Structure 1
Amino acid sequence: MKYLFKNQLWALALITLLFSCENDTEERPLGKYDTGILLMNEGAFGANDGEVFHFDPVSGTLTQNVFELENNRPFASLLEDLVLEEDRLYLVANTGKVEIVNPGDFKSRGAVVADLDQPRSLVTARGKVFISDYGPYDASFNTPDSYVAVVSGLDGGAVKKKIEVSSKPEDLFAFGKYVFVAGREESKIEIIDAELETVVKTLEVSGNPVQFFEQRGDLWVYAYDAENVYFQSFHLDNLTKKNFLQLDIVNATSRVAFGEDDRIYILTSSGWPDYNDGIAVTSIFDTTLIPSWKTGTGFYGIGYDQDRQELYVSNSKGFQGNGEVTVYSKDGSEVKTMEVGRGPSGILVR
């Protein structure tokens, strides 16, 4: 699963600062899921048993099957992403739906349940939801009809429009009226005008771009191939490429996490049949590389709690039953290991 924090860049922080003193409404009290760690379990293909667990690092309490617990019905899909946007938590299922819940209590507030094929992630902009979707497979299992679906309301509803993009779109990032789309298979960044609902610019990048992130005031995209990883930043005033960095990290995957001090943790895997997995650590500002911070087998997801300076690494256990999540301190020592659901792949730190 992709890195799950959806940063709003400095613009959101500035807007909040400017207007907070003028807002006389009381802040809502924190709900029981507004703090702690959300652990996303994809579920197994065919069983469609994806679910979310909640872990409280203070008390050590692990709450299972949060969606079903709070809504009295199973999630009943394969989970692809968890996205926190505009006081809503979006549960993206690659089996063709998006469930929307209140982040504090996980109660359902809406859904998109039709006209989607294989959604991957989403972002909100201009009061709309933009959902990246692989589209249907053709006879050769390619995805030539990938798109970004547009939904008019933040609480779900019907798909209003499908914007054609390059094959296998992954992460999205909203800035102003623009939505950046990471086109994994064709190494493209496509930029959508959220008001016009059309692609207005396409940028070629190196590797397979999968994850946007913000560091030191710039928007970057993480990309990789079999031999290297690539980091590309962008000028947001004129939508052009800015800085570029290539690092020699072999067998990188799409799974990354961002720690304090600009550290970037990257899962690596040799793949079938050996599955020699590891975690490499680097930075785009200090390219000193730790190629094997941790090694193992079955690494599947990764996330970082910056407040506690702890790294969460999930292990799929080959999808043979439940997986597990191990928590490491910044120095690499093990803090805790816990059994979770099937195919744990995502960690969202609240």
Structure 2
Amino acid sequence: MNIKLNQFFWAVALTLFTMSCSETEPERPLGEYETGILIMNEGAFGSNDGEVYHFDPITGELKADIFEAENQRPFAGLLEDVVLHEERLYLVANTGKVEIVNAGDFRSLGAVSGDLDQPRSIAVVGKKLFISDYGPYDSDFNTPASYIAVVDGLNGGVVKTKIPVSSKPEDLFAYGKYVLVAGSDEGKVEIIDTEKETIFKTLEVPGRPIQFFEMRGDLWIYSIGADEIFFQSFHLDNFTKKIQTGFPIPDATGRIAFGNEDLIYISTSSGWPDYNDAISKFSLYDSRLDINYLSGTGIYGIGYDKNNDKLLLAFSKGFQGNGEVMIYDKNANLQNTLTVGRGPSGFFFY
């Protein structure tokens, strides 16, 4: 899945705090990896060779395998998500661990390993980590024992609690003392009280909810159905549903990116045997809709560089060797092609 947006309420609060202190406290200089773009390479199943690349869109410099380069050991996992909280990056591997690095130099600060099964994403509230996890597969490859793992300490440690949730939790969103959970298998948004470490409320939403995002001051969740996609927003003062809308876009995947001018980009795929992949472009606020904005084969990740107004598509190349990232301008003209790691699947933009 895509790399997460920062929790916007906390980001606003942090910005205000930083502004209030700017007269007395000098700004911390940015580290080597706190500018540009991080490219997430998932890696191949069995090889567990996920890694992160760093790309500077100004100079064009591409640095490979920065976790291994800075820590003198391979990442050794399938990289599922990257989440930033303050000066820490949480690298979530769906092979059962979370690595925590300093955002500036990518050097290890700690980890969560052991007692995780298939982690998907992470949220931070206070000094606690909340990790969505599919849990183990049963004999029919279902995940009836999905959970949110709770860890005390921003630099990781042991799992102290597992909060049972609906099957296949994906994205998480922290708001105040609560964490919202996208329950993709059962069409639910479950809200956890992080102090009590229990589910406070459950909302039914259409489709399979995948990812939270903020737009125009509202919190939304993106869900996919068989022949259409859905967007649901929420009232955060009482955790009720606000606006629901949808688009008749079939074969949507969970890949989504957010461009300038309120534009949203999603990937679609016909799957085996044709693998006709495409990018649709649209807005929640007007009638703009282009179902076949771009097309290709093997699109595995998508992102938008708002600073430079560029759309980035990641191509897995069948997980046979290195993948590629293709960079397009806002008129869908190809500008650059990068050779990256195995199974590129997402991006983090500074």
Equivalent in the alignment of 2:61:
61
In structure 2, give the amino acid aligned to 1:247: F
**Could you tell me whether the CA contact under 8 Å between 1:298 and 1:315 is conserved in 2?**
yes
Aligned equivalents of 1:125, 1:106: Cα separation in 2: 22
In structure 2, give the amino acid aligned to 1:21: S
In structure 1, give the amino acid aligned to 2:342: R
**Could you tell me whether the CA contact under 8 Å between 2:6 and 2:85 is conserved in 1?**
no
**Could you tell me whether the CA contact under 8 Å between 2:212 and 2:221 is conserved in 1?**
yes
Equivalent in the alignment of 1:17:
16
In structure 1, give the amino acid aligned to 2:241: K
Q: CA deviation at 1:85?
A: 1.3
Q: CA deviation at 1:246?
A: 1.3
**Could you tell me whether the CA contact under 8 Å between 1:126 and 1:195 is conserved in 2?**
no
Q: Deviations over 1:53-95 (max 9, x none)?
A: 0011111111000000000001111111111112210100000
In structure 2, give the amino acid aligned to 1:314: A
Equivalent in the alignment of 2:137:
137
Secondary structure at the aligned position of 2:124 is classed as strand
Secondary structure at the aligned position of 2:161 is classed as strand
Equivalent in the alignment of 1:181:
181
Report the count of equivalent residues.
349
Q: Deviations over 1:283-337 (max 9, x none)?
A: 1111421000001100000011101000110000111211100000011101100
Structure 2: which 5+ residue stretches go unaligned? none
Q: Which moved more, 1:222-231 or 1:6-15?
A: 6-15
Secondary structure at the aligned position of 1:35 is classed as coil
After superposing on structure 2, the runs of 4+ consecutive aligned residues of structure 1 that deviate more than 4 Å are none
In structure 1, give the amino acid aligned to 2:296: G
1:19 to 1:85, Cα distance in 2 relative to 1, 3 A:
closer
In structure 2, give the amino acid aligned to 1:7: N
**Could you tell me whether the CA contact under 8 Å between 1:117 and 1:135 is conserved in 2?**
yes
Equivalent in the alignment of 1:262:
262
CA RMSD of aligned residues (A): 1.1
TM-score of the pair, normalised by structure 1? 0.98
TM-score of the pair, normalised by structure 2? 0.98
Secondary structure at the aligned position of 1:69 is classed as helix
1:82 to 1:14, Cα distance in 2 relative to 1, 3 A:
closer
**Could you tell me whether the CA contact under 8 Å between 1:302 and 1:346 is conserved in 2?**
yes
Structure 1: which 5+ residue stretches go unaligned? none
**Could you tell me whether the CA contact under 8 Å between 2:134 and 2:168 is conserved in 1?**
yes
Aligned equivalents of 2:108, 2:262: Cα separation in 1: 35
Equivalent in the alignment of 1:291:
291
Q: Deviations over 1:145-203 (max 9, x none)?
A: 00000111111001110000000000000011110000000000000011111101000
Aligned equivalents of 1:248, 1:46: Cα separation in 2: 37
Aligned equivalents of 2:169, 2:202: Cα separation in 1: 13
- 1:7 matches 2:35: no
**Could you tell me whether the CA contact under 8 Å between 2:39 and 2:346 is conserved in 1?**
yes
In structure 1, give the amino acid aligned to 2:8: L
In structure 2, give the amino acid aligned to 1:303: G
Equivalent in the alignment of 1:247:
247
